[in-house]
Amino acid sequence: MVFRVAAPRFESDHDHDQDVKQSNRLFDLMSHEIIEQRLENLKRKPKWTQWLDAYVNKLDRDGHDDDEWTPRGGTNVTAKGRETHGAKRSGFFSHVLWTIVGLVSMPFIVLFCVPFQRFYSPYMWPLGCHSPTSFLKQAVLNACTIVVIVAVAYWTLCDELPTRHMETNVALVRQHASILYLKLVHCAHSLRVSDDIASLKWLQTIVEGGSMASFEWPVTVPRECLGPILDALVLVAFVGLLLNFYSKWSRYAIFTFVLVQYTLSSPYVQTVWTSRPAITSLEPAYAMLDEPLVVTVEGDHLQPGGTVAWIPFWCAPSTYASSDTFFVGDCDKQFGAPFAAGVVHVTFTLVDTFIPCYKHPPNPLHPQVFECFDAFQIRVKTRQNIPGLYVKPNTITVELSADDTVVV
Protein backbone atom coordinates (compact mmCIF):
# COMPACT_ATOMS: atom_id res chain seq x y z
CA MET A 1 0.00 0.00 0.00
CA VAL A 2 1.56 3.26 -1.15
CA PHE A 3 0.84 6.67 0.35
CA ARG A 4 1.64 9.71 -1.68
CA VAL A 5 2.13 13.10 -0.08
CA ALA A 6 1.58 16.25 -2.07
CA ALA A 7 4.63 18.38 -2.53
CA PRO A 8 4.64 21.78 -0.81
CA ARG A 9 3.62 24.74 -2.85
CA PHE A 10 6.50 26.47 -4.52
CA GLU A 11 6.38 30.24 -4.21
CA SER A 12 7.94 31.88 -7.16
CA ASP A 13 9.31 35.36 -7.37
CA HIS A 14 6.23 36.40 -9.24
CA ASP A 15 3.98 35.47 -6.32
CA HIS A 16 6.24 37.36 -3.89
CA ASP A 17 6.07 40.49 -6.01
CA GLN A 18 2.30 40.24 -6.07
CA ASP A 19 2.17 40.10 -2.25
CA VAL A 20 4.43 43.14 -1.91
CA LYS A 21 2.28 45.12 -4.30
CA GLN A 22 -0.84 44.12 -2.37
CA SER A 23 0.69 45.29 0.95
CA ASN A 24 1.93 48.54 -0.58
CA ARG A 25 -1.54 49.17 -1.92
CA LEU A 26 -2.89 49.05 1.64
CA PHE A 27 -0.26 51.57 2.96
CA ASP A 28 0.51 54.02 0.18
CA LEU A 29 2.64 56.96 1.32
CA MET A 30 1.45 59.07 -1.56
CA SER A 31 -2.23 58.60 -0.82
CA HIS A 32 -4.28 61.64 0.16
CA GLU A 33 -5.26 60.21 3.54
CA ILE A 34 -1.67 59.60 4.64
CA ILE A 35 -0.55 63.03 3.44
CA GLU A 36 -3.35 64.81 5.33
CA GLN A 37 -2.59 62.86 8.50
CA ARG A 38 1.09 63.77 8.31
CA LEU A 39 0.23 67.46 7.79
CA GLU A 40 -2.05 67.42 10.82
CA ASN A 41 0.72 65.88 12.92
CA LEU A 42 3.14 68.58 11.83
CA LYS A 43 0.66 71.32 12.73
CA ARG A 44 0.02 70.00 16.23
CA LYS A 45 3.69 69.66 17.28
CA PRO A 46 2.89 67.84 20.54
CA LYS A 47 5.21 68.15 23.53
CA TRP A 48 6.84 65.22 25.24
CA THR A 49 4.68 65.63 28.34
CA GLN A 50 1.50 65.65 26.27
CA TRP A 51 2.64 62.58 24.37
CA LEU A 52 3.42 60.72 27.60
CA ASP A 53 0.07 61.69 29.13
CA ALA A 54 -1.75 60.50 26.04
CA TYR A 55 0.22 57.24 26.10
CA VAL A 56 -0.58 56.60 29.77
CA ASN A 57 -4.26 57.47 29.31
CA LYS A 58 -4.47 55.14 26.34
CA LEU A 59 -3.03 52.30 28.41
CA ASP A 60 -5.56 52.96 31.15
CA ARG A 61 -8.42 52.96 28.67
CA ASP A 62 -7.27 49.80 26.96
CA GLY A 63 -6.66 48.02 30.26
CA HIS A 64 -3.15 46.96 29.29
CA ASP A 65 -0.19 46.93 31.65
CA ASP A 66 3.27 46.75 30.17
CA ASP A 67 4.81 46.41 33.64
CA GLU A 68 3.11 43.08 34.25
CA TRP A 69 5.65 40.36 34.77
CA THR A 70 6.20 37.24 36.81
CA PRO A 71 9.10 37.60 39.27
CA ARG A 72 10.66 34.93 41.40
CA GLY A 73 7.96 33.64 43.69
CA GLY A 74 5.21 33.33 41.10
CA THR A 75 3.30 36.55 41.92
CA ASN A 76 2.26 39.10 39.34
CA VAL A 77 3.12 42.67 40.27
CA THR A 78 1.14 45.29 38.41
CA ALA A 79 0.71 49.01 38.70
CA LYS A 80 -2.50 48.50 40.66
CA GLY A 81 -0.70 46.21 43.06
CA ARG A 82 2.06 48.75 43.54
CA GLU A 83 -0.45 51.45 44.38
CA THR A 84 -2.12 49.18 46.91
CA HIS A 85 1.22 48.33 48.43
CA GLY A 86 2.32 51.97 48.51
CA ALA A 87 -0.87 52.94 50.32
CA LYS A 88 -0.04 50.60 53.18
CA ARG A 89 2.49 52.63 55.10
CA SER A 90 4.16 51.38 58.22
CA GLY A 91 3.97 53.11 61.57
CA PHE A 92 6.50 54.47 64.04
CA PHE A 93 7.72 51.19 65.54
CA SER A 94 7.92 49.47 62.15
CA HIS A 95 10.02 52.29 60.71
CA VAL A 96 12.32 52.30 63.74
CA LEU A 97 12.75 48.51 63.54
CA TRP A 98 13.45 48.41 59.80
CA THR A 99 15.76 51.42 60.07
CA ILE A 100 17.88 49.60 62.64
CA VAL A 101 17.84 46.43 60.55
CA GLY A 102 18.84 48.36 57.42
CA LEU A 103 21.74 50.13 59.13
CA VAL A 104 23.03 46.94 60.76
CA SER A 105 22.75 44.79 57.62
CA MET A 106 23.92 47.47 55.19
CA PRO A 107 27.22 45.71 54.23
CA PHE A 108 25.39 42.43 53.56
CA ILE A 109 22.73 44.13 51.42
CA VAL A 110 25.34 46.07 49.43
CA LEU A 111 27.44 42.98 48.72
CA PHE A 112 24.81 40.31 48.10
CA CYS A 113 21.52 42.04 47.24
CA VAL A 114 22.34 45.14 45.23
CA PRO A 115 24.19 43.28 42.40
CA PHE A 116 21.27 40.83 42.02
CA GLN A 117 18.35 43.18 42.56
CA ARG A 118 16.86 42.31 39.16
CA PHE A 119 16.07 38.84 40.48
CA TYR A 120 13.89 40.24 43.27
CA SER A 121 10.34 41.37 42.76
CA PRO A 122 9.74 45.07 43.27
CA TYR A 123 8.24 46.16 46.57
CA MET A 124 9.29 43.01 48.33
CA TRP A 125 11.50 45.26 50.44
CA PRO A 126 10.04 46.87 53.58
CA LEU A 127 9.09 50.53 54.06
CA GLY A 128 7.48 50.63 50.61
CA CYS A 129 10.81 50.35 48.77
CA HIS A 130 11.18 48.69 45.37
CA SER A 131 14.90 47.86 45.52
CA PRO A 132 17.64 47.25 48.09
CA THR A 133 19.23 50.58 47.20
CA SER A 134 16.06 52.52 47.94
CA PHE A 135 15.65 50.57 51.19
CA LEU A 136 19.13 51.60 52.34
CA LYS A 137 18.47 55.22 51.34
CA GLN A 138 15.24 55.21 53.32
CA ALA A 139 16.97 53.74 56.38
CA VAL A 140 19.74 56.36 56.28
CA LEU A 141 17.19 59.15 55.77
CA ASN A 142 15.14 57.94 58.75
CA ALA A 143 18.23 57.81 60.96
CA CYS A 144 19.32 61.31 59.95
CA THR A 145 15.82 62.67 60.58
CA ILE A 146 15.72 61.18 64.08
CA VAL A 147 19.15 62.60 64.92
CA VAL A 148 18.22 66.07 63.66
CA ILE A 149 14.92 66.16 65.57
CA VAL A 150 16.56 65.03 68.83
CA ALA A 151 19.46 67.50 68.42
CA VAL A 152 17.14 70.44 67.71
CA ALA A 153 14.89 69.52 70.65
CA TYR A 154 17.96 69.31 72.92
CA TRP A 155 19.18 72.69 71.66
CA THR A 156 15.75 74.25 72.23
CA LEU A 157 15.55 72.93 75.80
CA CYS A 158 19.17 73.39 76.92
CA ASP A 159 20.31 76.28 74.66
CA GLU A 160 23.32 74.26 73.50
CA LEU A 161 24.12 71.31 71.27
CA PRO A 162 24.63 67.84 72.76
CA THR A 163 28.12 66.60 73.50
CA ARG A 164 29.73 63.18 73.26
CA HIS A 165 29.23 62.49 76.97
CA MET A 166 25.81 60.87 77.15
CA GLU A 167 25.61 61.03 80.94
CA THR A 168 26.21 64.79 80.90
CA ASN A 169 23.55 65.27 78.24
CA VAL A 170 20.99 63.24 80.17
CA ALA A 171 21.74 65.10 83.40
CA LEU A 172 21.41 68.46 81.67
CA VAL A 173 18.11 67.45 80.08
CA ARG A 174 16.74 66.34 83.44
CA GLN A 175 17.84 69.59 85.07
CA HIS A 176 16.23 71.82 82.45
CA ALA A 177 13.12 69.65 82.31
CA SER A 178 12.68 69.92 86.09
CA ILE A 179 13.15 73.70 85.93
CA LEU A 180 10.56 73.94 83.16
CA TYR A 181 8.18 71.75 85.15
CA LEU A 182 8.50 73.99 88.22
CA LYS A 183 7.86 77.07 86.09
CA LEU A 184 4.75 75.49 84.59
CA VAL A 185 3.46 74.55 88.04
CA HIS A 186 4.01 78.12 89.21
CA CYS A 187 2.22 79.45 86.13
CA ALA A 188 -0.67 77.05 86.70
CA HIS A 189 -1.11 78.46 90.21
CA SER A 190 -0.88 82.00 88.81
CA LEU A 191 -3.58 81.32 86.25
CA ARG A 192 -6.65 83.48 86.84
CA VAL A 193 -10.09 82.86 85.38
CA SER A 194 -12.35 85.85 84.91
CA ASP A 195 -15.36 86.13 87.21
CA ASP A 196 -17.53 86.98 84.21
CA ILE A 197 -16.80 83.59 82.68
CA ALA A 198 -17.34 81.72 85.93
CA SER A 199 -20.68 83.43 86.60
CA LEU A 200 -21.91 83.16 82.98
CA LYS A 201 -22.51 86.89 82.97
CA TRP A 202 -21.19 87.11 79.42
CA LEU A 203 -23.94 84.77 78.22
CA GLN A 204 -26.60 86.97 79.78
CA THR A 205 -25.05 90.04 78.15
CA ILE A 206 -25.09 88.39 74.72
CA VAL A 207 -28.73 87.37 75.14
CA GLU A 208 -29.72 90.89 76.18
CA GLY A 209 -27.73 92.42 73.30
CA GLY A 210 -25.27 94.33 75.47
CA SER A 211 -21.67 95.27 74.75
CA MET A 212 -18.75 92.94 75.49
CA ALA A 213 -16.18 95.71 75.68
CA SER A 214 -16.26 95.90 79.48
CA PHE A 215 -15.47 92.23 79.96
CA GLU A 216 -12.01 90.94 80.80
CA TRP A 217 -10.11 88.19 79.04
CA PRO A 218 -11.44 84.74 79.99
CA VAL A 219 -8.03 83.54 81.19
CA THR A 220 -5.08 85.73 82.16
CA VAL A 221 -1.53 84.62 82.90
CA PRO A 222 1.48 86.67 83.99
CA ARG A 223 3.82 87.91 81.30
CA GLU A 224 6.74 85.85 82.57
CA CYS A 225 4.69 82.67 82.09
CA LEU A 226 4.51 83.04 78.32
CA GLY A 227 8.09 81.80 77.90
CA PRO A 228 7.63 78.47 79.75
CA ILE A 229 4.28 77.89 78.03
CA LEU A 230 5.83 78.42 74.59
CA ASP A 231 8.74 76.12 75.49
CA ALA A 232 6.33 73.41 76.59
CA LEU A 233 4.31 73.73 73.37
CA VAL A 234 7.48 73.52 71.28
CA LEU A 235 8.58 70.37 73.10
CA VAL A 236 5.16 68.79 72.52
CA ALA A 237 5.49 69.65 68.83
CA PHE A 238 8.91 67.98 68.76
CA VAL A 239 7.42 64.84 70.28
CA GLY A 240 4.82 64.82 67.50
CA LEU A 241 7.52 65.26 64.87
CA LEU A 242 9.53 62.41 66.37
CA LEU A 243 6.52 60.07 66.32
CA ASN A 244 5.97 60.93 62.63
CA PHE A 245 9.60 61.25 61.57
CA TYR A 246 9.06 58.98 58.55
CA SER A 247 6.59 61.34 56.85
CA LYS A 248 7.60 64.10 54.48
CA TRP A 249 5.77 66.87 56.30
CA SER A 250 7.76 66.22 59.49
CA ARG A 251 11.03 66.65 57.58
CA TYR A 252 9.76 69.86 55.99
CA ALA A 253 8.61 71.13 59.40
CA ILE A 254 11.93 70.48 61.16
CA PHE A 255 13.85 72.04 58.27
CA THR A 256 11.62 75.13 58.37
CA PHE A 257 11.99 75.40 62.16
CA VAL A 258 15.79 75.22 62.01
CA LEU A 259 15.91 77.79 59.21
CA VAL A 260 13.61 80.23 61.04
CA GLN A 261 15.40 79.76 64.37
CA TYR A 262 18.81 80.30 62.79
CA THR A 263 17.58 83.41 60.97
CA LEU A 264 16.00 84.96 64.06
CA SER A 265 19.04 84.24 66.25
CA SER A 266 21.48 85.98 63.92
CA PRO A 267 22.96 89.23 65.30
CA TYR A 268 21.87 91.21 62.24
CA VAL A 269 18.20 90.26 62.65
CA GLN A 270 18.36 90.90 66.40
CA THR A 271 19.78 94.36 65.74
CA VAL A 272 17.10 95.21 63.19
CA TRP A 273 14.24 93.64 65.11
CA THR A 274 14.97 95.04 68.57
CA SER A 275 16.29 98.42 69.66
CA ARG A 276 19.80 97.99 70.94
CA PRO A 277 20.42 99.51 74.39
CA ALA A 278 23.27 101.93 75.02
CA ILE A 279 24.69 103.52 78.19
CA THR A 280 25.85 107.11 77.72
CA SER A 281 26.57 108.20 81.29
CA LEU A 282 27.45 106.57 84.61
CA GLU A 283 27.79 108.30 87.97
CA PRO A 284 29.67 108.15 90.30
CA ALA A 285 33.04 107.06 89.00
CA TYR A 286 34.11 105.24 92.16
CA ALA A 287 32.51 103.36 95.05
CA MET A 288 33.45 102.35 98.56
CA LEU A 289 33.89 98.74 99.55
CA ASP A 290 30.90 97.14 101.33
CA GLU A 291 28.86 100.34 101.21
CA PRO A 292 25.45 100.67 99.50
CA LEU A 293 25.61 102.86 96.43
CA VAL A 294 23.00 104.40 94.13
CA VAL A 295 24.37 104.53 90.59
CA THR A 296 22.79 106.86 88.05
CA VAL A 297 22.62 105.22 84.63
CA GLU A 298 21.67 107.21 81.54
CA GLY A 299 21.36 105.85 78.04
CA ASP A 300 19.16 104.91 75.12
CA HIS A 301 16.52 102.16 75.01
CA LEU A 302 16.95 101.30 78.69
CA GLN A 303 13.68 99.78 79.87
CA PRO A 304 12.43 99.80 83.47
CA GLY A 305 12.65 96.32 84.89
CA GLY A 306 15.88 95.53 83.09
CA THR A 307 18.89 94.11 84.86
CA VAL A 308 22.20 95.87 85.42
CA ALA A 309 25.12 93.66 86.43
CA TRP A 310 28.85 94.18 86.68
CA ILE A 311 31.99 92.39 85.53
CA PRO A 312 35.71 93.22 86.01
CA PHE A 313 37.16 95.49 83.35
CA TRP A 314 39.82 92.96 82.37
CA CYS A 315 37.27 90.36 81.15
CA ALA A 316 37.39 89.43 77.48
CA PRO A 317 34.68 90.82 75.16
CA SER A 318 33.64 87.25 74.33
CA THR A 319 32.12 86.97 77.83
CA TYR A 320 30.02 90.12 77.51
CA ALA A 321 26.95 88.47 76.01
CA SER A 322 26.90 85.53 78.43
CA SER A 323 23.71 85.15 80.39
CA ASP A 324 23.59 85.49 84.14
CA THR A 325 23.54 81.71 84.55
CA PHE A 326 26.57 81.05 82.33
CA PHE A 327 29.59 80.40 84.50
CA VAL A 328 32.88 81.64 83.10
CA GLY A 329 35.01 81.82 86.22
CA ASP A 330 35.67 85.34 87.53
CA CYS A 331 33.90 86.91 84.55
CA ASP A 332 30.38 85.91 85.50
CA LYS A 333 27.88 88.70 86.02
CA GLN A 334 27.99 89.98 89.61
CA PHE A 335 25.95 92.32 91.81
CA GLY A 336 22.94 92.24 89.48
CA ALA A 337 20.07 94.56 90.40
CA PRO A 338 16.90 95.82 88.66
CA PHE A 339 17.02 99.10 86.78
CA ALA A 340 14.26 101.58 87.64
CA ALA A 341 13.80 105.36 87.45
CA GLY A 342 17.24 105.80 85.93
CA VAL A 343 19.14 104.36 88.91
CA VAL A 344 20.35 101.02 90.16
CA HIS A 345 21.30 100.00 93.70
CA VAL A 346 24.49 98.03 94.20
CA THR A 347 26.89 97.06 96.96
CA PHE A 348 30.37 96.05 95.83
CA THR A 349 32.12 93.46 97.99
CA LEU A 350 35.31 93.21 95.91
CA VAL A 351 38.06 95.73 95.29
CA ASP A 352 38.35 96.05 91.53
CA THR A 353 37.29 98.15 88.56
CA PHE A 354 33.92 97.11 87.15
CA ILE A 355 32.07 97.86 83.92
CA PRO A 356 28.25 97.82 83.63
CA CYS A 357 26.24 95.24 81.68
CA TYR A 358 22.58 95.72 80.81
CA LYS A 359 19.87 93.21 79.86
CA HIS A 360 16.28 93.90 78.80
CA PRO A 361 13.34 92.65 80.91
CA PRO A 362 12.26 89.05 80.27
CA ASN A 363 10.48 88.62 76.96
CA PRO A 364 9.36 85.16 75.81
CA LEU A 365 9.52 86.18 72.15
CA HIS A 366 13.11 87.46 72.20
CA PRO A 367 15.99 85.80 74.06
CA GLN A 368 17.69 88.42 76.20
CA VAL A 369 21.44 88.60 76.75
CA PHE A 370 23.70 91.05 78.49
CA GLU A 371 25.42 93.86 76.65
CA CYS A 372 28.44 95.34 78.39
CA PHE A 373 29.89 98.83 77.94
CA ASP A 374 33.60 99.02 78.69
CA ALA A 375 33.72 102.78 78.05
CA PHE A 376 32.26 103.41 81.52
CA GLN A 377 33.85 102.08 84.70
CA ILE A 378 33.41 102.25 88.44
CA ARG A 379 36.45 101.78 90.61
CA VAL A 380 35.90 100.20 94.00
CA LYS A 381 38.19 101.55 96.72
CA THR A 382 38.77 101.11 100.40
CA ARG A 383 39.14 103.92 102.90
CA GLN A 384 42.89 103.29 103.14
CA ASN A 385 43.22 104.24 99.46
CA ILE A 386 41.54 107.65 99.80
CA PRO A 387 43.57 110.39 101.51
CA GLY A 388 41.62 112.24 104.18
CA LEU A 389 39.10 109.49 104.75
CA TYR A 390 41.43 107.07 106.45
CA VAL A 391 41.82 107.85 110.15
CA LYS A 392 44.64 106.08 111.93
CA PRO A 393 43.30 104.51 115.12
CA ASN A 394 44.67 105.78 118.42
CA THR A 395 47.29 103.48 119.95
CA ILE A 396 47.63 102.89 123.66
CA THR A 397 51.00 101.79 125.05
CA VAL A 398 50.82 99.58 128.07
CA GLU A 399 53.92 98.89 130.14
CA LEU A 400 54.25 96.53 133.03
CA SER A 401 56.56 97.58 135.82
CA ALA A 402 58.50 95.28 138.07
CA ASP A 403 55.79 95.37 140.71
CA ASP A 404 53.09 94.44 138.13
CA THR A 405 51.65 97.97 137.97
CA VAL A 406 50.23 99.19 134.71
CA VAL A 407 51.74 102.37 133.27
CA VAL A 408 49.89 104.04 130.35
Domain of 298, CATH number, reads 2.60.40
Three-class secondary structure of residue 371 per DSSP: strand
Which burial class, exposed, middle or buried, applies to 380 when counting CB atoms under 10 A from its CB (0-12, 13-18, 19+)?
A: buried
Question: Percent of the chain beyond pLDDT 70?
Answer: 62
132 shares a domain with 256: yes
pLDDT in tens, 316-349: 776 666 554 444 445 788 888 888 888 898 888 8
Residue 256 lies in a domain: yes
Task: Estimate to the nearest angstrom the gap between the alpha carbon of 151 and the chain centroid.
Answer: 9
Three-class secondary structure of residue 300 per DSSP: strand
323 shares a domain with 227: no
Instruction: Spell out the residues 6+ positions from residue 80 whose beta carbon is closer than 8 angstroms to its own.
Output: 65
CA neighbor of 289 nearest in space, from 346, 337, 349, 334: 349
What's the CA gap between 270 and 256, in Å, rounded? 19
218 shares a domain with 340: no
293 shares a domain with 257: no
Residue 158 lies in a domain: yes
331 shares a domain with 239: no
Instruction: Spell out the residues 6+ positions from residue 299 whose beta carbon is closer than 8 angstroms to its own.
Output: 277, 278, 279, 280, 281, 358
Residue 220's domain comprises: 89-265
Last residue of a domain, one of 204, 231, 265: 265
327 shares a domain with 203: no
pTM score, whole prediction: 0.50
Query: Following DSSP, what letter does each residue of 240-264 receive, concatenated?
Result: HHHHTTTSHHHHHHHHHHHHHHHHH
Residue 76 lies in a domain: no
The number of domains in the chain is: 2
Give strand pairing partners of 355: 311
Residue 202 lies in a domain: yes
167 shares a domain with 259: yes
255 shares a domain with 147: yes
What's the CA gap between 146 and 222, in Å, rounded? 35
Residue 219 lies in a domain: yes
- Do the beta carbons of residue 107 and residue 88 sit within 8 Å? no
214 shares a domain with 127: yes
Alpha helices in 27-165 (DSSP H): 32-44, 48-62, 79-87, 92-104, 106-112, 132-158
Q: What pLDDT tens digit does each residue of the chain (408 aa) get?
A: 555 555 445 455 555 556 555 555 555 667 778 778 777 777 766 666 676 667 666 655 554 444 444 444 444 444 444 444 443 456 888 889 999 999 999 888 888 888 777 666 666 788 888 888 888 999 999 999 999 999 998 988 887 888 888 888 888 889 888 988 888 888 888 877 766 655 566 666 665 555 555 556 667 777 778 888 888 898 999 999 999 988 888 889 888 988 888 787 776 776 666 667 888 888 888 888 888 888 888 888 888 888 898 888 888 776 666 554 444 445 788 888 888 888 898 888 888 888 888 888 876 556 677 888 888 888 888 877 666 665 565 555 555 555 555 445
CA neighbor of 138 nearest in space, from 93, 89, 175, 99: 99
169 shares a domain with 118: yes
